[in-house]
Amino acid sequence: MRLFITALILFASATSAIAADEDLNICNAGGYYAGAQDRFMSGIAQHILQKRGLLGTVNCSALWKSAYEVGASFSRTGKIANQNEAEILKQASTFSEKVYSNISTSMGY
């Protein structure tokens, strides 16, 4: 029984950490798309973050601002300057794939 309760606690903490990471990824993706002037994708990110109560929080705002610069720079140059920028671009791409997959699924495609 003790092992079962320990497993449940570990699962719950892992699930909550994954959800927190996903929220931060959405902050990065939204900022990236805002910097790239993609109002559709940044608007969806804003909507999700607002519903989750994260839009405008200190952590999310800092990530958004940093990712905004990456999106603006990448849209001008097409170049990734470092590993951090590559990770933000990956998060933005993953977010985009999820959005379009959900749209296609809800439309029956």
- pLDDT tens-digit readout, 69-78: 999 999 999 9
Instruction: Give the domain range for residue 91.
Output: 2-106
3-state secondary structure of 80: coil
Report the half-sphere exposure of 47 (CA within 13 A, side-chain side). 7
**Cβ-based neighbours of 36, under 8 Å, separated by 6 or more:** 71, 72, 74, 75
Q: Please give the tally of structural domains in the chain.
A: 1
88-102 pLDDT tens trace: 999 999 999 999 999
pTM above 0.75, yes or no: yes
What token pair was written down for 52?
């989750």
- Report residue 106's pLDDT band, with 50, 70 and 90 as the boundaries: confident
